[in-house]
Amino acid sequence: MDLSLGDSTTLLRRRDHLSRQRISAFLTALAVAVGLAVLGPMTGTASAATCAAGWSSSTVYTGGMTASHGGRNWQAKWWTQGETPSSTGSGVWADQGSCTGGSGGGDGGTTGCDHPAWVAGRAYTAGDIVKYTNGNYYKASHDNPGYDPVISTWYWAPYTCTGGGGGNPDPSGFVVSETQFNQMFPNRNPFYTYAGLVAATKKYPAFAGTGSDTVKKQEAAAFLANISHETGGLVHIVEQNTANYPHYCDTGRPYGCPAGQAAYYGRGPIQLSWNFNYKAAGDALGIDLLGNPWRVEQDPAVAMMTGLWYWNTQNGPGTMTAHNAMVNGVGFGQTIWAINGSLECNGRNPAQVQSRVSKYQQFTQILGVPTGGNLTC
């Protein structure tokens, strides 16, 4: 049927009116759907965030980096290494709330316990996970040629997994907490870590583990006070006077100086020096420090172990080890004899002696124990 112009105009208006109605209805339905989507989560329980990669005591974190630990995500406020994420302590970590799932890993991650046994001398790359001889698991933090996970904490970090076996060594058994350690050494070099110190104590369990709780803390304070003095507050890793470097090679020893005449300068918390000391310490620790003395300035745990080796086994210029001096109640002054003897004692250098004593007094106060007698030498 033919339509007049008027009829055609009317039809177009009706179609336009119907289109506007359909569009209006669609927009109304869309608004309702969006509203429900927005309101829905508010009426339910908010789901936890996904866990970031697990915190590792050997990993360096800088401001803004995140890690999971204890079922929560944490964000580093500034540079940190070896400081367990917590709402207390140094305050370096900001709590980002609870989390679930995620990639895990590190000290706080989870995975199946089907990792291969660690093999000495086998090359490992960062990220490899192994089962150590003590039944615990470790994750390679850095590439290494098969270093011992218990000794080389720079290259390995404890790793927790589920599915049978495994574990996560807890450093809290040491008489000095991580918070107290940080309080003692607020400006320390990042090389010197709490994790490295705790790992070293496993090699010498009698250190700060003999006698009453007071004696244990006194010995820990005495050791830390002496190494604080030796390193300027755990700041210096190596001897600062490089002119002395060639003087520490005793060529009369049958094993000589295979790493070079100038390779046996002072390193670590007690500034281990001389080729014969590197040989003796390496033999005691099961590490070739005569051939590779640089391990002492590269691995925080090895560095601390050399300090504890001397402390627990060497009389030095004194008449007893520093360990025996503390656990037998002889007094802090005898630890100075064992380390530097007549160079400082008997009035030779009273300022140096007082520096050590002052640190010992400060550290025993932090640990809440008396100093005991015989502080000077």
Question: How many angstroms separate the CA atoms of 316 and 324, rounded?
Answer: 13
Q: How many residues does the chain have?
A: 377
Q: Is 339 left (phi over 0), alpha (psi -120 to 50) or beta?
A: alpha
CB 308 within 8 A of CB 200: yes
Adjacent-strand bridge partners of 162 = 112
From 178, 219, 230, 344, the catalytic residue: 230
Q: How do the residues of the chain divide into helix, strand and coil, expressed in percent and rounded to 5?
A: 40, 10, 50
**Smallest Cα–Cα separation from 80: which of 99, 93, 97?**
93
Tell me whether residue 187 is exposed, middle or buried, using C-beta atoms within 10 angstroms of its C-beta: 0 to 12, 13 to 18, 19 or more: exposed
**Smallest Cα–Cα separation from 66: which of 90, 39, 93, 35?**
93
Adjacent-strand bridge partners of 271 = none
CB 236 within 8 A of CB 191: no
Residue 230 is a catalytic residue: yes
- Secondary structure (3-state) at 188: coil
Question: How many angstroms separate the CA atoms of 351 and 192, rounded?
Answer: 26
Complete DSSP assignment for 204-269: -TTTT-SSSHHHHHHHHHHHHHHHHHHHTTTT-SB-S-GGGGGGG--TTSTT--TT-TT----BTT
CB 236 within 8 A of CB 266: no
Catalytic residues: 230
